[in-house]
A = this chain, B = another copy of it.
Amino acid sequence: MPGRLSSPDVAVHRNDLLRRYQAVRAHSLALAQPLSAEDQCIQSMPDASPTKWHLAHTSWFFEAVVLAAHVPGWRPYDRRFFHLFNSYYESLGPRHPRPQRGLLTRPSLDEVLAYRSHVDEAMQALLAGDGPADAAASLVELGLQHEQQHQELILTDILHAFSCNPLLPAYRRPEPPVLRLAGSGPAPQWLALPGGVVEVGHAGPGFAFDSETPRHAVLLRPFQIASRLVTCGEYAEFIADGGYRRASLWLSDGWAAVQAQGWRAPAYWLAPGDPRAPAEDWQVFGLHGVQPLDASAPVSQLSLYEAAAYAEWAGARLPTEFEWEAASVQPGLDQATGHVWQWTRSSYDPYPGFRPLSGAVGEYNGKFMVGQVVLRGGSLATPPGHTRPSYRNFFPPAARWQFSGLRLAKDAEC
């Protein structure tokens, strides 16, 4: 999830940073706007967080990492907030237990918004005039990138919470009906890439997280990659063909999850016959509430296990993260970002020569580098401009509450 500045090559212009700060911060409030104070308070599982907590935590980040270090004589807004709104920074002190974030009715939403305003005033004062020194500017940019990551989580987390409510409320009004393609859309093209020595990782300039660095060369074999994402219609065929009942298609942990959790479809699909969605066909719950399945839309809310099982069923495989990165800059590759994050077949390991930054922000990425799988691209919930070809998102292989789908790959034909 996390990330950090690849320090040397940042060049942030002061005025730009102030405007950018204001825009990013305003976007978080805009995302919360359709939600009541009640909606913003709840937590539907330990992995998710309340909207209000996201709003407070992203402000805490600026206070703890920027203001406390770079504003002489800074006095904490409320010392208790350092405990309540820290997420996982061990070096910044003890934290409120993650599974109990949904019990924080106090501070109230109004109090959290007042906290945001207080932080915003101080930050804007810091960013005005000559602006901060380079070190601070890097941390501000890191804070904004961090807030953008939480903006995506605001959407995925409230969607999970609403999915637990039998009323299945809509985050947004349903859109007016559009003409939908019949079927799963045109067949994908297979783009052939030659492999060889390829440079991967952040090339600069501009911001990147530490996990994207250092840029380095890797050797790829020739491979093919699908020009578009797997669609809901194609995934429905996998289900209809017994995909969730055939152990041979699944990774061992994936098959165990299917059995233990009773998975039969992506997380928010409502089966034909579900009393909450009394249509004859599949329905899908999303930000617009319950909608009929759109066969041509990219499938989403998949675990890595499901993505890999689908690929096996389709006679293909998932791309590695480096294949994805190499392909992402090719003409012909559609839906690289803006739809769903795309599971790769790469574990989230450190790049050769990887070094986390010193200080508390050094906890941002490196300490999560085990047991996670890389997703590439970016989703409809990712703030525009936040992602890039070298961006490494990551989640545990069983995670299903993200906008996560897949693109197929295969070895080159000999």
Contacts and interface: CB of A to CB of B under 8 A. Distances in A.
Nearest to A110: B36
A166 B83 contact: yes
A220 interface: yes
B167 A106 contact: yes
A37 B166 CA distance: 20
A220 B352 contact: yes
Contacts of A371: 253, 371, 397
Given A103-B165, A217-B219, A349-B346, A90 B304 contact: no
A368 B320 contact: no
A96 interface: yes
B411 A397 contact: no
Contacts of A44: 103
A137 to B, nearest CB: 25
A15 interface: no
Contacts of A165: 103-106
B217 A369 contact: no
Nearest to A39: B105
Interface in A330-380: 345-350, 352-353, 363, 367-371, 373
Nearest to A412: B353
Interface stretch (A17-25, A119-127, A183-191, A244-252): A244-252
A108 interface: yes
Contacts of A84: 166-167
Interface residues of A, number: 66
Contact of A42 (B103, B166, B217, B352): B103
A105 B219 contact: no
Interface string A238-258: 000000000110111111000
Contacts of A320: 349, 352
A411 B304 CA distance: 32
Contacts of A252: 88, 367-368
A47 to B, nearest CB: 13
Contacts of A37: 36-38
A13 B371 CA distance: 42
Contacts of A368: 251-253
Interface string A35-62: 0111101101000000000000000000
Contacts of A219: 197, 216-219
Contact of A102 (B42, B254, B373): B42
A129 to B, nearest CB: 35
A80 interface: yes
A118 interface: no
18 contacts: A36-B37, A37-B37, A37-B38, A38-B105, A42-B105, A80-B167, A90-B247, A90-B255, A96-B166, A104-B165, A105-B161, A220-B352, A221-B352, A305-B370, A320-B352, A346-B349, A347-B370, A371-B397
The 4 closest A-B pairs by CB, nearest first: A347-B347, A90-B247, A38-B105, A252-B367
Given A36-B37, A91-B247, A252-B367, 14 more contacts: A38-B41, A44-B103, A84-B166, A103-B164, A103-B165, A105-B161, A106-B169, A107-B167, A217-B219, A220-B352, A250-B367, A304-B370, A347-B347, A347-B349
